[in-house]
Each structure stands twice: as structure tokens, then as C-alpha cells.
Amino acid sequence: MSSIQEVVIGELTPQPIHIGRGRPLAWIAGPCVIEEQRTMALTAERLKKLSEKLSVPIVFKSSFEKDNRSSEEHYSGPGLEEGLELLAWIKKEFELPVLSDVHRADDVSAVREVLDVIQVPAFLCQQTSLLLAVGRAGKVVNVKKGQFMAPEGMAGAVGKLESTGNRSILLTERGTSFGYNQLVADLTSIPIMQGLGYPVVFDAGHQVRRYGIPSADPQGGAPEQIPPLLRAGIAAGANMVFLETHPNPREALCDAASQFPLDRLEDLMSEARDLADLVRAQGHA
């Protein structure tokens, strides 16, 4: 069994989150994209309560910019300044570490002042200038594996980050292209990417999106398939879970058909915790 570098999120906070072999299953969760403050606050408050009630470590996730929307007319977020301001407020108000995507090297100096985890989007996982800038920020970095990449191909992204001296790296399995408009979860990518030396996050939501159909169309996703996918990823040894959730998915401004309902998250999170504990007790994660 390969060794995995332990990654610590919020190392200087009262309750740092340790990600690695044998550590409790942690979550990255929140709305796909930053919306108005009420929705963000409602979600963060609920996630904080679930974290305390279930003893589950949670990182709050929401994107200040979604730069890969299928149309320039679709909502892409409030932008860097306003988005970071709201994430900083959530971090302070609810005492949750925060994560967001960054698309440009020029934005890294601003996001490093707020974010606990800087995420590199799947489409940019080979972008050398971005990876180097993010690595030099000295923060935990989560790189989402591109749907066009073999898991062992993520060694390139890891090497670029390591060249900056950064060893706080997470790698996310979020689906592999199956034809043109569908993603499938390659569960073998979890141990393969762990073999690169770092914890692996399993994104249980993006595979249920039906690409080519507008995300606001109910046919654009199958969120009822999230629980079995989540169970499979945990059983395969994932160190962390990524799941977008919303108080009212049908009204979400992004990925409305594939976000998991916030009011159903407690049962899913409790089930996931118990399964993860079993997998860890058997020495598989």
C-alpha cells in the first residue's frame, strides 16, 4: 500500500482538518457558484451544524467565477472581489474553511488572502502557469482531474506543484469522458492517484450531470444517482468527498439539475461517515 502525504487544511486554526490515510472522511460541500448572501448563509449555517452534529470535517465550497459555462449569457458568479468578500464573511461568521476555483494566475495573489484551499478546475489541470502560481501561494491545492486525463497523467500536475515546494496537494476524481456528453466514475483512479503520493477526493456529483442539456432542465441531471456513486467512491478508498449542494436546487443559478438537496444531506453524510469508518477499520483507506 503506497504512502500518502497527509494534508492539513486550516493548520493554524483551532480545529484543523487532517486528510490522509486512516483519517476521518472529510467533505467539500456548498453551492456550485456564489449566489446572493441569503442562500450562501443558509447553506453555510446548515453545513456548520451538520459538521458539529455528525463530527464530520467540512470545507465550504462555492465558485466566485465559473468561466466554463456553455453560454456567455449564463450566470457565471459575482466575480473575484465580491466573491472573495462573501467567502471571507462565511469563513469568519461560520468558522468553516473555504474553497473556490481560480482560473487565472493573476488572481492567485488575491485568493490566497482568503481561501484555505485553492482549486484548479478540471479543464485547467495541465495549465503550467496557473499550477505554478497556485503552488507558490503556499496554500492547500485541490486539482480536479480533467475528464480527458488518465489518472496516472496527473503526475504532471503533481510535479509542477511540487517544483514550487508545495506538498499540500489534493487530487479529485470527477469523472472521465464516455462519448461526448456523459461522464463516468473511474473508481480505479482513486488508488492510482493515491499512488502519486497524495490524498484523493471523490466528486460524487458531476458524473450525474447530462451534458448537452441545459443545467436548468430537469433532464439535465440525475441527482438520485449521487448516493450510490458516493458509496462506491468511499468503498474504493477516497480520503475526502466533494459534493455541490443547494437549499433549492431547482432554483440554483448553476447546475440546477445535479446539485444535491441541502435538506437531504444529513442522512447521506451520516451514511457516508459510517461506511468510511468501516473501510478505514479494514485498513483500506
Q: For each of the chain's 285 residues, which pLDDT tens digit applies?
A: 569 999 999 988 889 999 999 999 999 999 999 999 999 999 999 999 999 999 999 999 999 998 876 678 677 789 999 999 999 999 999 999 999 999 999 999 999 999 999 999 999 999 999 999 999 999 999 999 999 999 999 999 999 999 999 999 999 999 999 988 889 999 999 999 999 999 999 999 999 988 888 777 778 889 999 999 999 999 999 999 999 999 999 999 999 899 999 999 999 999 999 999 999 999 999
Provide the pLDDT for residue 146: 97
Domain of 216: which CATH number?
3.20.20.70
CB 30 within 8 A of CB 244: yes
Question: How, if at all, do strands 183-184 and 176-177 pair?
Answer: antiparallel
**Angle made by CA atoms 25, 134, 147, in degrees to the nearest 5:** 60
- Calculate the CA 221 to chain-centre distance: 18
Q: Is residue 1 a part of any domain in this protein?
A: no
Provide the pLDDT for residue 66: 84
Per-residue exposure over 134-144, b if at least 16 CB sit within 10 Å of its own CB, e if not? bbbbebbbbbb
- Calculate the CA 112 to chain-centre distance: 17
Cell of 244: 455541490
Provide the pLDDT for residue 186: 94
Q: Is residue 238 a part of any domain in this protein?
A: yes
Q: Is residue 97 a part of any domain in this protein?
A: yes
CB 19 within 8 A of CB 237: no
Provide the pLDDT for residue 217: 79
Q: Is residue 2 a part of any domain in this protein?
A: no
Nearest-angstrom CA–CA distance, 251 and 269: 23
CB 8 within 8 A of CB 17: yes
pTM recorded for the entire structure: 0.96
CB 123 within 8 A of CB 68: yes
Provide the pLDDT for residue 70: 67
Nearest-angstrom CA–CA distance, 8 and 74: 35
At 227, phi and psi to the nearest 5? -55, -45
Nearest-Å Rg of the Cα atoms of the chain is 17
Residue ranges in 65-216 assigned as alpha helix (H): 80-94, 108-111, 128-136, 155-162, 189-194
Looking at the 3D structure of the chain, how many domains does it have? Answer: 1
DSSP string, 35-99: --HHHHHHHHHHHHHHHHHHT--EEEE-BS--TT-SSTTS---S-HHHHHHHHHHHHHHH---EE
- Structural domain including 210 reads 7-281
Q: Is residue 177 a part of any domain in this protein?
A: yes
